[in-house]
Amino acid sequence: MKYFGTDGFRGEANVFLTVEHAYKIGRYLGWYYNREHKAKIVLGKDTRRSSYMLEYALVSGLTASGADVYLLHVTTTPSIAYVTRTEDFDCGIMISASHNPYYDNGIKIIDSNGHKLSSDLEEKIEAYIDNKTSELPLAVQKKIGTATDYSIGRNRYVGYLISTATRSFKNMRIGLDCANGSASSIAKSVFDALGAKTYVVAIEPDGTNINQDCGSTHIENLRSLVKEQHLDLGFAFDGDADRCIAIDEFGNEINGDHILYICGKYLKEKSKLNDNTIVATIMSNLGLFKALEKESINYVKTTVGDKYVNEEMVKHSYSLGGEQSGHIIFSKHSTTGDGILTSLMVMEAVIEKKTTLGNLAKEMTMYPQKVKNIVVEDKKAVITNEVVIKLEKMITKELGDEGRILLRESGTEPVIRIMVEAKTEHLCDKFIKQMTNVIKNQKLLIDN
């Protein structure tokens, strides 16, 4: 599609994603859900400077089409999903570019069941944005929509998070990195309510510092906090708090693959892992799959994107799935990745097992994994090139059970991602170099 990717409509604010786009998205969604009854749509945003203009543009479009809008203001993406599915809203909209820098922004649309919007409806919105459909009628007189403060919805979500915890966090010393984003006004209050002693960084958003050297993609500050304060563990969220990366007591990073293993094993012990299966993506580390096999836990691989993980989970009623980046879905509690919920589930495993996060994570050995992005003329031409395929098979055979190579097309850029896992970083570098050279010699790079 032209605008919508696996995680909504995302790009640089007022360059790729403009207020005109937001207005037209609002117009279409307001009209679409308002056809048979008075539409109710919940709207939230993260802390980016551009979120305000996009919020007002969406509200203008939605109300002009007759929909009533309920504003959660600064909140998390999973809170929008929670409120939408539990309080009879037609859809939810979150303004956020997740882990991207502040100058980017995005519009994520969630259906009434709390799932990402269907591709069919996204295509219809795109057609309207590009003026490929007839103009939509404007609401008039009493049919014009209203906008209402609905911060109570965010408060209900916070209460729900607290209710999911089965153990007190008393005597636990926990670090939190809120990425100067949506978690800034939520995460600490949740952990405080559960009895933890919390130490927090990156909770002073100014509109331009979201994800800046902080959060789940920059865990150095949280690592320093955990080590300097001798904390039990720490959690880092991204801008809209749908991701979670942890730090153990030694300062080691515990990524989404570790979390899938730790929580999957714990759920299996509690007989709560539906069909004894975890959903991961093709980019999850080989170490995760080997560790799951050792525990006799089944796994399913999807293409990259929590949207696809969730679709697989819904299709087969699986209870746990996620990505290495920290998008983790616990279907009992949520329909989307939820960073704060994930941290609570990790805490439950740590407390119930009466051990440390480091001890739980050390059971899984991560393989060195390297990824190189190369800009190409034609992504399909690379993937289907006979010489490239031949080399890929040769490398796969040489790596055997102790590694793998994967070529993946970017969904939004003219880029092929070459991922190699092996016993050593040297082998990763060797095979990435070999594949890059072959693609170059086949004159498939964009600079050729």
Residues 6+ positions from 192 with CB-CB distance below 8 Å: 198
Give the active site residue among 65, 96, 98, 185: 98
Exposure string of 231-264, with b = 16+ CB inside 10 Å and e = fewer, is bbbbbbbbbbbbbbbbbbbebebbbbbbbbbbbb
Q: Of 217, 223, 214, give the one whose Cα is nearest residue 251.
A: 223
> Is 242 flagged in the annotation as binding?
yes
Residues 6+ positions from 119 with CB-CB distance below 8 Å: 1, 4
* Long-range CB contacts for residues 266-271, cutoff 8 Å, separation at least 24: 266/348, 266/349, 266/352, 266/353, 267/319, 267/320, 268/295, 268/297
197-201 sheet: strands from edge to edge: 197-201, 173-177, 233-237, 244-247, 253-254
Q: Whole-angstrom Cα distance, residue 392 to residue 86?
A: 47
Q: Which residues pair with 106 in a beta bridge?
A: 10
Token pair recorded at residue 134: 């007839």
Centre a 10 Å sphere on the Cβ of residue 92 and count the other Cβ atoms it contains: 28
60 flagged as catalytic: no
Cα-flanking dihedrals φ and ψ of residue 112, to 5°?
Answer: -65, -15
Among left, alpha and beta (phi > 0; psi -120 to 50; other), residue 90 is: alpha
Three-class SS state of 161: helix
> Judging by beta carbons within 10 Å of its beta carbon (0-12, 13-18, 19+), is residue 176 exposed, middle or buried?
buried
Q: Whole-angstrom Cα distance, residue 368 to residue 403?
A: 9
> Judging by beta carbons within 10 Å of its beta carbon (0-12, 13-18, 19+), is residue 436 exposed, middle or buried?
middle
Token pair recorded at residue 87: 């309080």
Residue 411 CA: distances (Å) to CA of 1, 98, 338: 9, 17, 23
The three-point CA angle 275-298-303 to 5° equals: 105
> Is 240 flagged in the annotation as binding?
yes
> Judging by beta carbons within 10 Å of its beta carbon (0-12, 13-18, 19+), is residue 402 exposed, middle or buried?
middle
Cα-flanking dihedrals φ and ψ of residue 220, to 5°?
Answer: -60, -45
- Residue set of the binding site for Mg(2+): 98, 238, 240, 242
Please list the active-site residues: 98
